[in-house]
Structure 1
Amino acid sequence: MFEEVTTPRDLIGLARQRRAASWRAEADVLAIAYEWAIAHPAGEDGWNAAAFHHPLGDEPISGDGTPEVAASCVAELGAALGVSTDAAKKLIGHAIEMVHRLPRVWRRVQAGEVPVWRARLVAEATIHRDPALSPEAMAWIDAQVAPFLEKIGRAQMERILAQAIELYGLAAQEPPRDEDNDGRYVHIHTPIGPFAGSMRIEAEVSNADGHDLTQALAAGAAALKAGGSTASLDVRRSVALGELARQQTSLDLAGAEAEGDDGGEGSAGTVAGTADGSMQRKARRVDLHLHFSAEVQPDGTTGINPIGFLENGQKLALLSQVQSWINDSHTDVRILPVIDLNTQLSTSRYEPTDRIRRQVMLRDRTCVFPWCTRPARSCDLDHVEPFDHDAAAEGRPQPGPTATDNLAALCRSHHRLKTHTGWRLTSPASGVFEWTSPHGQRFRRDRHGTSDLTDGDESVHAVGQLCPT
């Protein structure tokens, strides 16, 4: 590759050539995404339009006034590019946004003058802006951003958007602040990094609640120090906050059931009587799904790997962390039976048993569609070969048994894709799934990730790797 490179100047020149070729290739992929989208329009009234699905409603993939795209076409492009269906939706949405609402930005990208990622940053910001940007505001933003696209960052983009909203009178009138709408919130942030050692909590509370919480944490930190803790004040306050959550001492609701609206698994705390007749809330049970594997140690004995996998948040966890959770007197520990993933389980019913469901979820870990990463615990269990509900009554063998080797974890969108479109799924072995797309692409999905079998290419793409056991 570098035979003709003889001087540092030649090496710099080669780097510039490769950068230009990379920008050109990315711009071509963006143009292909747009042409693919235009070739697959949504039906009348947008009944099958691609969208991002959220609990509070659907969100379009591109801005107001842009063409809608058939949802069924997105997975084919995503599979070809080796990305998830949601990532393909973003790519298509950004391409449509640029062509129809940011034409100056689009021209600079297609001329190879700027990297695609900078243009996509602008498109992402304009698509999901609230309030929605009018055509006049979009034209102004396009004119402001395009000449300086190689210098635009997130902070500057936010300032330009805010200026456009002010210039064109798009600012929504803020509702009056009252007792139920005064800016209070609590955010529990997903841990960043490979290990699930800690989480960040951010909140704004009323003065009264803040004062009470401060006093409770100070008292808890003091009690820990009196008990012999040598940790810093910040650490002791953090531990005291966890104790408040478990014991509900200072914040006891005395008989009220916990709302449980945080979306996590677990059962609400219950209320029990104490010796003096007062009410005390028991600790809430939270289910953490942990996986630790046994392995042969250097001395030939079998031991537990000190690093395991925590399904909640898709993080790694240390065995020492789990031991500290168990040693906590307020932790409700529940150990489920070990399930051998190599055992074939089955039932004559259509609905899988709880044991079969757990086994398939543990085996698949995520939705088994190519490059999808949605956790299996939130997926449907689909019969690879359809279950025949009339087979037993008519005395015929069941062609699609409810058995380990005939079940696959599929998220709802890919379940619908398999059922209602031309995607075909087979399972040559338990936990191994082979997909064929409507346009003839072939993929294998197993515990190691996604392999592209189209034209004999069986290389495993790193983006499709599953988390380690």
Structure 2
Amino acid sequence: MLQYSGPEGGRPFDPADPGLDVPYDDEPPPQLLPLTPEIVISQMTGSRRLKMATECNELISATDWADLHPGETLPTTTAAGVGPGAERAVQLGGDGTPLVAEFAATELAALVHSSSWAGARLIGDALDLRHRLPRLWSRICETEIEAWQARRIAQATRHLTKHEAGYVDAAVADLLGRLPWGRLQALVDAAIIEANPERAAQLADLVGKADKKVHVGQSDDHGLTTVYARVDAAAGIWLDAIIDRLADLLAAQGDESSKDNRRATALGLLAHPARAIQLLTTPVTGEEAGTDTAGPDTAGPDTAAPGMSGTDTAGTDSGAGDDDEPDLFDAPEPPEPDLPDPDGPEHPGTPGRPLTEAEIIAAVRRLDPAKLRPRVLLNLHLAEQTVRTGTGVARTEGIGPQAADTVRAWLGDCTILLRPVIDLPGGLTPVDAYEIPQAMRDHMQLRQPVSSFPFAASRGKLDLDHTIPYRPGCGPGQTRIANLAPLSRLEHRLVTHGDWSRRQPEPGTLLFRAPHGHIYLVDHNGTHPLGTTSFAQAVWNTATPEQPARPGADGERARGRT
């Protein structure tokens, strides 16, 4: 029988007893304060501050522990004549950090209930921050940032020299706490490349060769399996594009399954090259045999980082080079049927009859391989200095910052079609319609590729919210760059149908007010929480927008929600 253990000892478990969780005594239950949103908000923010302080203090204590266990008096790991197994001096951090006694990390790790390896890494990260990333370390000492984010940056920059690490520190230290980690990590990666472009390109080549692999998992009882692949970013772009192309062709031939299902079928088709080529060379209404339509935008727009003086956009329109084409014809060549030229007006084979493998092979021999390549749109943003010198950072959406040399290698065997650069600072002419013209959408996506909501990480295909709601007949130019802000669908619903409010005092600078009064300022530097102070309310009131005139109101302005 289950027993309940309370202050008065155990008693039999009775499911029908509604007072089971109350001990047997005559004392009334303690009176609790009524639960209010303000109490919960205070608990949450207080817990976060306490957690930040605890983890920052842990890093400070790790450096103190290292100072108490210096390694100067011990032989280094490369010293000769040291007894086997004896303690040595080790450098747990990067260039410029002091030596530490090897065994010190183990005792520290035991104190915090972690492994010796984790203890050594904690000391190494803390020493990197103190000696190589001084701006981040200052913010750690002031408990202004999350310790785990600072540690990730220390680990990412460990291979850099002390001077190069300082460059990254200066570039990103002020942004911690304002951006979600996904966006911040992209800036860290870019700063690492800028610190030493040549080494970044070499490291990318070495890591790429070491980490590439393909793994096929075990099939489940539904006959499905998982395919995992880690390939060059350029190869991943081409693979995604050709899969999408095949999926669209399957739909054109009557496959009514979902796009994801057709993409999975398309990947399987690549295991049968002849069948895939047959599908790629089958005419589709509105296309010529053997040609290609635009593939997916596998890399969308991205904004230039602060300080970049110019941008450039390049589109690629080819796949792997001709020399990389697989040799499908090692076997003796079969008799070649009498087929029309596939580049001519008539497609090979008899309508309604599937081609044989021999017919496909014969037709493929006459094809221009470039006609089978998918078309890929790749938006690159390059600083003017990178264009002039050929070294630096190239920013690509969906891939992240890359060394310019790496991107040059991607494009080295492609047919490139350059598209005009959208004039980001110039803006576009406002329109008097709720619908947003495509050119304006493209402009906004390049200008602000991520959501404008506080701490948001959403990017890609976002809604464009009218920060001053559109009102039919209330004046021209309501749909304009200065009145649009990218939001995810949920965030758009929050400001349209929920209790969140938003204002855009300047293009790209927004203020949001949460349901219980907390105010956030969001700009190109990230999110700045202003809280609920009188200053925050004054900033909010100052940004009060003026609505377009109501019809027949003789110029009277309708005020927005406050």
Superposition TM-score, scaled by structure 1 size: 0.41
